[in-house]
Amino acid sequence: MNISQTEPLLLSDDAHAGDYIALMKPRVMSLVIFTALVGMLMAPQTIPAMHPVLMLVALILIAAGAGASAVLNMWYEADIDAKMERTAARPIPSGRVLRGEALTLGICLAAFSVVSLGVLINYLSGALLLFTIVFYAWFYTMVLKRRTPQNIVIGGAAGALPPVIGWAAATNTLALEPFIFFLIIFLWTPPHFWALALIKNEDYKRVNIPMLPVVAGIKTTLWNILAYSLLLVGASALPYVLGFSGLLYMQVAMIMGAGFLTLAITTLLVRQKNKWAGGLFAYSIFYLFVIFSALLLDRGLA
């Protein structure tokens, strides 16, 4: 699929506001907003606190950038979305939104969010947001996803950047702390998405997307999930080990990590992929929310 094949940039008569919101993947956006907020609030107290209004503006613009990435992803993948059971009802393959509309919306959102964040907040956060959009919409979506089973591993960097952008928005600097948060999300992404890929394995086979279960099989995927889960639990201890957080966070991280490993091991041993992989996928979302909430709670108590 390429730009020359897109439909005219017209508005569809069948589209509703909810369809354009759906293009921006609001559930994914909510996780982006939350982790970006954590990055802002975990900034050192020695730097003047970010004004609440500017914080809200920054979060809205980061969310808009995440939405732009999602819209461009759906624009480019409309051909395979139409053939997959999980995605066939999305606004573009269902015909409610024209592909040209999606392309225009994605480009406008990307330009607006990057320029506004750079001008209203600081250029560092704007540059990081631009890098994130380009990395996800171009490098992951157009280059990696249809070519390598490591698409999720490499492409996960885009989804791991929001706390770094949030930190940069609050401080106009970079430091070790936000990159530890980046590492946690980066290592969380493969087991999270491979669990989903196990459930939707037939979908990915149908459209020839080389997800790990399609290319390497279920057993290898389950072993990879366990390996990354172990790395994730180890990385989740780093905020405490490096002095970014206290004992409360460490206790929560280890308890949640034990649950993650238990599900990963059970899924590997039982191999009832639809039952256990689904549980692991759902738990992984809960896991990330809880440990990042624990970071904030621990900082607040300190």
- pLDDT band per the 50, 70, 90 thresholds, residue 232: very high
> Are the beta carbons of 148 and 105 closer than 8 angstroms?
no
pTM for the full model?
0.92
- The CATH H-level (homologous superfamily) assignment of domain 11-173 is UbiA prenyltransferase (1.10.357.140)
What pLDDT was estimated at residue 62? 98
DSSP letters spanning 98-129? -HHHHHHHHHHHHHHHHHHHHHHT-HHHHHHH
Is the pLDDT assigned to residue 129 strictly greater than 60? yes
163-170: average pLDDT: 96
Model pLDDT, residue 194: 95
Can you read off the two tokens belonging to residue 132? 């994130």
Q: Which secondary-structure segment (H or E) carries 94?
A: none
Closest of 21, 33, 16, 6 to residue 165, by C-alpha: 33
Q: How far is it, in rounded angstroms, from Cα 280 to Cα 115?
A: 38
State how far the Cα of 274 lies from the Cα of 127, in Å rounded to an integer: 40
Q: What is the mean pLDDT of residues 248-273?
A: 89
Q: What average pLDDT does this structure show over 172-178?
A: 95
What's the pLDDT at 277?
Answer: 85
Task: Specify the higher pLDDT residue, 273 or 3.
Answer: 273
Q: What span, in angstroms and rounded, lies between the C-alpha atoms of 295 and 207?
A: 40
- Reference 71, options 60, 81, 85; nearest CA is 81
Domain with CATH 1.10.357.140 in the chain: 11-173
> Please, are residues 196 and 281 in contact by the beta-carbon 8 Å criterion?
yes
Query: Which residues belong to CATH 1.20.120 in the chain?
Result: 175-302
| Mean pLDDT across 236-243 | 97
Q: Which residue has the higher pLDDT, 12 or 248?
A: 248
**What is the SS3 assignment for 273?**
helix
Q: What is the pLDDT of residue 2?
A: 42
Q: Length of the chain, please?
A: 302
CATH of domain 175-302: 1.20.120
